[in-house]
């Protein structure tokens, strides 16, 4: 019997929470994960705030095999996503 592979997805961005941008990644990635045998168990949408990103990463990485992130990473100098993810992993 093979082990069940699980995942969570974090969608990062104030623009998603405000409604300015409509998320298109959840459904797409859920389809891909299902097709390759990954059981998507949870999706969280978090604001562009370091403490919120760190808390969400740490909460889900303790529970699931994989954590996928979408949004957040952008071409702007003020993006905090990469640094926040790094902080969550120490």
- pLDDT at residue number 72: 65
Q: What is the pLDDT of residue 53?
A: 95
Question: Structural domains in the chain?
Answer: 5-88 (3.40.980.10)
Asked if residue 44 lies in contact with residue 60, where contact means CB atoms within 8 angstroms, the answer is yes
pLDDT tens, residue by residue, 31-87? 999 999 999 999 999 999 999 999 999 999 999 999 999 986 666 656 788 889 999
Sheet of 38-46: strand order equals 38-46, 5-12, 66-71
pLDDT, position 79: 77
What's the maximum distance between 2 C-alpha atoms anywhere in the chain? 47
The answer to whether residue 1 scores a pLDDT higher than 80 is no
Who wins on pLDDT, 28 or 79?
A: 28
Strand partners, 45: 11
């Amino acid at each position: 019997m093979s082990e069940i592979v699980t995942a969570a997805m974090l969608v990062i961005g104030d623009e998603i929470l405000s409604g300015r941008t409509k998320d298109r990644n959840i459904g797409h990635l859920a389809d891909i994960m299902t097709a390759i045998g990954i059981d998507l168990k949870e999706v969280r949408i978090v604001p562009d705030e370091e403490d919120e990103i760190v808390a969400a990463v740490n909460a889900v990485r303790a529970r699931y095999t994989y954590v996928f992130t979408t949004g957040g990473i952008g071409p702007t100098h003020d993006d905090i996503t990469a640094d926040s993810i790094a902080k969550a992993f120490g």
